[in-house]
Amino acid sequence: MRKRQVGKKLYIDLTLQRSWIEEISARDLDSGVGGRYLNGKFFLDQISSSISPSSPEFPIALAVGPLAGTLAPCSGWTSISAFSLLLDPPGYAHASMPGHWGPHLRFAGFDQCIIQGKAERPVYLWIDGGKVRFEDAKSLWGKDTIETTVAIQEEKEDRDAEILCIGPAGERGVLFANVVNRFSWTGDHVGLGYAFGAKNLKAIAVRGRQSVSIDRPDTFLKLCLGLKDRIYHDRNGSRLKEEGTFFFLGKNGGGLGIKNFNEISSSELEEKWKAAYFKEFFYGREGCFSCPIHCGRITQMDGEYFGGVHLEAAWSLGPRIGINDWESTLRLYRLCQRKGLDPCSVGSLLSWLMDGFEKGVLSSLDLGHTECWWGDVEAVVRVIDWVISGKEAGDIFRQGSFRTAKNLGKGLDLVAHADGMDLPVRDPRSSMEYALALAFFPAEWDYLRSIPSRELLSSNAFATKVSGDAKIAEQVSAAEELKILADLTSFCPLVVARLPLISVSDIAELTAAVTGRACDSVALMQEVERTIQVDKTLSEMNDNGKNGLGALPPRFFRDQSSSVPPLSKNLFEREVSRYYQKRRWNRPTKMEEEL
Amino acid sequence: MDTITLLPERCTGCLSCEMACSLSHEGSSCSCLSRIRIKKWGEIALYFPIVCQHCENAPCITTCPTKARKRKTENGAVVTDEKWCVGCKSCIYACPYGAPVIHPVTGKTMTCDLCDGKPLCVDVCSVGALSYPRNGKFSIEQMMVSLRTRPLVGAP
């Protein structure tokens, strides 16, 4: 007997301590997509621009696509949407989170979870058997992310419960606090931990015991086995498995920012840095849900085994702040992981502080009567402690590098940001494709960023869609469409957009086999187009479209460093205009005037 | 005795085996419907697969009060006969590996049946944490998978 899927949305109101369930509309269900589109549509329908983005009343939406919680390879990603105070001006942001939480939300019977309001006292949510319980989190408040996860699992006597939680950073209002799943996984680059903390929400725990129905199990199994085999035998897939996200170093990458983007890395330096990790600290692999690649690395240090170390987190707490020994980097990473801080934003803040101090822009008075030289691990630990506790200058620093610079009125031109959001680790001057992708999609991690690598381009299916001679803006927009498709269906953006190992038609076939509804590549790409329009409308909500997308700070267009040639302003602006034309968007007047 | 061989140090916790087992046996996806289970080792990032080892002197067979636990003659797999199982959980307590689990719908125990000699969980495990030697011997393909997914300490 055929089993059709029924999509459900779980609404949770923390103020009223009440939850209710709504069915996903037939139109949305028939479209065969979920995730990012569902979140965007919710925000578009429900949110009025009159509410302040800093209000805890602002909702958080977490959603998965139709393939989450199935055998489909690399289908364990969760789309998270919230209003981010890290953006300038604060606004709607989307993040993709790997791990296991999303599929388990599906096993709990829901495709989307929307959290509204603010609890009176600290709570955590326990989602089990289609019901939500508001549990007292008083005893958990102050605990780090690992202690919180274990404490909830022990309280519920279930080690299989999936926990998404914050650490002390989120509780205490650090804007760049993140959420952590299963000790290791976080996709959060938008300050979701702050949003949790502002709502007095310590964690969302899910126990999934409902099965995800598959319309044509035999066809689906055959498709999944074929795809797993393809990924297993693919050259890039194999290297990604061997090296994790460090695969994007050396000849596949190049151009990571060192010391607040004052220098740029060479392939040799990157290879050496990578080899040092694998030689001394690498223990094994860790995989997201249903992933045949397992790009997560398990690190061994001082008798501890921990996951979650990836290229950007490690580089941010390493060469970006002048630290070149892995032991210090990993200690700082472990500290951020436990406290629930985004390592990338921590690295960005510290590199800005160190850069400003070294150049004499910031004094020791600005830094809370301390010094902060490149590579000073003790100063780094001190600043992290202040950020979490709010002591000394911590109250200012906890707003992130961009807002700290604005508040102090110093060093704003040294901040590496796009729309206020801290840059990940790759230098925008390393390629025009990357600079453009960064300017339009500032909230994404580098390794997920849908920039078409020229070397990879010639050897994959994406080459059939965009040739190597295509204009940069077209390449970036086509790659971004694939990234959004991954977000809509809960696939890993790496295997759909970055490498890509799974094509649009593969996704259409899998979706049709799971949902039992007609689904083809054209229909999926139409949904992608709709999502782009929804995201655009939402991104314009807070500034009424005055600023527009597609801007980078002036420092990257000036010759700041002898080792990095600046970006060409004319070429960049030409590509931004082309991107607007490609999307058939009107360029905001402010941007036109600046030209 | 044919059984699925486990190399826990290679397991990455991706749960592909659970999904494949659930899909092939039940036609739908859920960890709770899988005959193989992956457990995370406390708070550290290590994983441990648990699956029936089809013991020679299987305590579940001797303990089962209704004789529902039986050995299949075709491949030696120890399975539950649903007609006789009353869901008393005796086999769960008797098993040294904690392999039998209760089916969430029928309330009866379920364990690995070796998929008629072609365990799907082994097919989808791309890191070599699961393997299936026939008559105690690994095939060339299984050895190749094992070599390709060698522990990477010291690499590249």
Contact partners, residue A129, CB within 8 Å, separation at least 6: A207, A209
The count of other CB atoms within 10 Å of the CB of residue A121 is: 10
Rounded to whole angstroms, the Cα distance separating B117 from B133 reads 10
Q: Are residues B105 and B58 in the same domain?
A: yes
Contact predicate A60/A115, CB 8 Å: yes
The verdict on a CB contact (< 8 Å) between A242 and B42 is: no
The DSSP 8-state label assigned to residue A358 in this structure reads H
Residue B126 is nearest to which of A146, A212, A228, comparing CB atoms? Answer: A228
Helices and strands, counts by H and E, chain B: 5, 9
Distance between first and last Cα of chain A: 62
Looking at residue A545, what is its pLDDT? 55
pTM of the model: 0.91
Contact predicate A551/A591, CB 8 Å: yes
The verdict on a CB contact (< 8 Å) between A220 and B23 is: yes
The verdict on a CB contact (< 8 Å) between A228 and B32 is: no
The verdict on a CB contact (< 8 Å) between B16 and A243 is: no
Helices and strands, counts by H and E, chain A: 23, 19
Q: Are residues B105 and B59 in the same domain?
A: yes
Is the pLDDT score of B153 beyond 50? no
Q: B-side interface with A, Cβ within 8 Å? A: 9-10, 12-16, 19-20, 22-24, 26-33, 39-40, 42-46, 104, 120, 123-124, 126-127, 148, 151-156
Distance from CA of A199 to the nearest CA of B (A): 27
Lookup: tokens for A430: 């390393």
Contact predicate A297/A282, CB 8 Å: yes
Q: Are residues B83 and B118 in the same domain?
A: no
The verdict on a CB contact (< 8 Å) between A107 and B30 is: yes
Residue B29 is nearest to which of A69, A100, A209, comparing CB atoms? Answer: A69
Pairing of strands B37-40, B47-50: antiparallel
Confidence band of B32 (pLDDT split at 50, 70, 90) = very high
Distance from CA of A280 to the nearest CA of B (A): 7
Question: In chain B, which residues have their Cβ closer than 8 Å to the Cβ of A242?
Answer: 152, 155-156
Q: Are residues B65 and B29 in the same domain?
A: no
ipTM over 0.90: no
The verdict on a CB contact (< 8 Å) between B30 and A217 is: no
Question: In chain A, which residues have their Cβ closer than 8 Å to the Cβ of B16?
Answer: 71, 73, 228, 287, 290-292
The verdict on a CB contact (< 8 Å) between B40 and A284 is: no
Q: Are residues B58 and B99 in the same domain?
A: yes
Concatenate the DSSP letters of all residues of B21-61 into one string. Answer: HHHHHHSEE-GGG-SSEEEE-TTSS-EEEE-----TT-HHH
Looking at residue A460, what is its pLDDT? 38
Looking at residue A15, what is its pLDDT? 94
Contact predicate A528/A480, CB 8 Å: no
CATH code where residue B66 lies:
3.30.70.20
3-class DSSP state of A271:
helix
Residue A279 is nearest to which of B23, B42, B154, comparing CB atoms? Answer: B154
Distance from CA of A150 to the nearest CA of B (A): 7
3-class DSSP state of B106:
coil
Distance from CA of B56 to the nearest CA of A (A): 30
- For domain A8-207, give the CATH number: 3.60.9.10
pLDDT tens series, chain A, 595 aa: 445 556 899 999 999 999 999 998 888 877 778 889 999 999 988 876 566 666 777 899 999 999 999 999 999 999 999 988 998 888 888 999 999 999 999 999 999 999 999 999 999 999 998 899 999 999 999 999 999 999 999 999 988 899 999 999 999 999 999 999 988 888 778 899 999 999 999 999 999 889 999 999 999 999 999 999 999 889 888 888 888 889 888 766 568 889 999 888 888 899 999 999 999 999 988 899 999 998 889 999 988 888 889 899 999 999 999 999 999 999 999 999 999 999 999 999 999 999 999 999 998 888 888 888 999 999 999 999 999 998 888 899 999 999 999 999 999 999 999 888 898 888 888 888 888 888 888 877 777 765 655 444 443 333 334 444 567 888 888 888 999 999 999 999 888 988 888 999 999 999 999 988 888 899 999 999 999 999 888 888 766 555 667 788 888 888 656 567 888 888 899 988 888 888 888 877 655 555 4
A76-111 residues labelled b (16+ CB within 10 A) or e (exposed) = bbbbbbbbbbbbbebbbbbbbbbbbbbbbbbbbbbb
Contact partners, residue A443, CB within 8 Å, separation at least 6: A84, A87, A93, A94, A95, A189, A190, A421
Residue A290 is nearest to which of B16, B42, B123, comparing CB atoms? Answer: B16
Quote the domain boundaries for residue B73: 54-111
Lookup: tokens for A63: 């959603």
DSSP H helices, B83-153, are 90-94, 120-124, 140-148
Lookup: tokens for A220: 């689906």
The verdict on a CB contact (< 8 Å) between B22 and A211 is: yes
Give the residue among B107, B117, B108 at the shortest CA–CA distance from B77. B117
Provide the number of CB pairs (under 8 Å) joining chain A to chain B. 134
For residue A318, the surrounding DSSP H or E stretch is none
Lookup: tokens for A67: 């393939």
By CA distance, what is A213's nearest residue in B? Answer: B28
Multiple choice CATH, A224-360+371-381, 3.20.20.70, 1.10.569.10, 3.40.50.2300, 3.40.50.1220:
1.10.569.10
The verdict on a CB contact (< 8 Å) between A211 and B33 is: yes
Give how many domains chain B has, as a whole number. 2
Looking at residue B49, what is its pLDDT? 93
Distance from CA of A242 to the nearest CA of B (A): 8
Question: In chain B, which residues have their Cβ closer than 8 Å to the Cβ of A160?
Answer: 31, 39
Concatenate the DSSP letters of all residues of B8-25 into one string. Answer: GGG-----HHHHHHHHHH
Residue B23 lies in a domain: yes
By CA distance, what is A160's nearest residue in B? Answer: B39
A407: region left, alpha or beta (phi > 0 left; psi from -120 to 50 alpha): alpha
Contact predicate A29/A7, CB 8 Å: yes
Residue B99 lies in a domain: yes
Residue B76 lies in a domain: yes
Looking at residue A303, what is its pLDDT? 86
Distance from CA of A202 to the nearest CA of B (A): 18
Looking at residue A239, what is its pLDDT? 87
Rounded to whole angstroms, the Cα distance separating A292 from A492 reads 11
- The whole-number average pLDDT for the span B93-109 is 93
For residue A258, the surrounding DSSP H or E stretch is strand A257-258
Give the residue among A340, A10, A59 at the shortest CA–CA distance from A206. A10
Mutate to test the interface with B, among A1, A5, A67, A71 (most CBs of B within 10 A): A71
Residue A305 is nearest to which of B15, B32, B46, comparing CB atoms? Answer: B46
Rounded to whole angstroms, the Cα distance separating A473 from A581 reads 9
Question: In chain B, which residues have their Cβ closer than 8 Å to the Cβ of A292?
Answer: 14, 16, 124, 126
Contact predicate A247/A239, CB 8 Å: yes
By CA distance, what is A288's nearest residue in B? Answer: B14
Q: Are residues B17 and B88 in the same domain?
A: no
Q: Are residues B27 and B103 in the same domain?
A: no
The CA distances from residue A290 to A12, A293, B19, B29, in Å, are: 28, 9, 8, 11
The verdict on a CB contact (< 8 Å) between A214 and B43 is: no
Pairing of strands A91-97, A78-84: antiparallel
Rounded to whole angstroms, the Cα distance separating A121 from A202 reads 10
The verdict on a CB contact (< 8 Å) between A292 and B43 is: no
Looking at residue B140, what is its pLDDT? 60
Lookup: tokens for A544: 């009424």
Q: Are residues B102 and B81 in the same domain?
A: yes
B40-69 residues labelled b (16+ CB within 10 A) or e (exposed) = beeebbbbebbbbbbbeebebbeebeeebb
Question: In chain A, which residues have their Cβ closer than 8 Å to the Cβ of B153?
Answer: 282-283
Look-up of token digits 């602002």: A58
- The whole-number average pLDDT for the span B48-75 is 92
Residue A290 is nearest to which of B9, B14, B156, comparing CB atoms? Answer: B14
Looking at residue A366, what is its pLDDT? 85
Q: Are residues B117 and B47 in the same domain?
A: yes
Residue B86 lies in a domain: yes
By CA distance, what is B155's nearest residue in A? Answer: A278
Question: In chain B, which residues have their Cβ closer than 8 Å to the Cβ of A100?
Answer: 15
By CA distance, what is B129's nearest residue in A? Answer: A285
Domain boundary assignment for chain A = 8-207, 224-360+371-381, 422-594
CATH topology of domain A422-594: 1.10.599
Residue B154 lies in a domain: no
Question: In chain A, which residues have their Cβ closer than 8 Å to the Cβ of B43?
Answer: 146, 149-150, 183
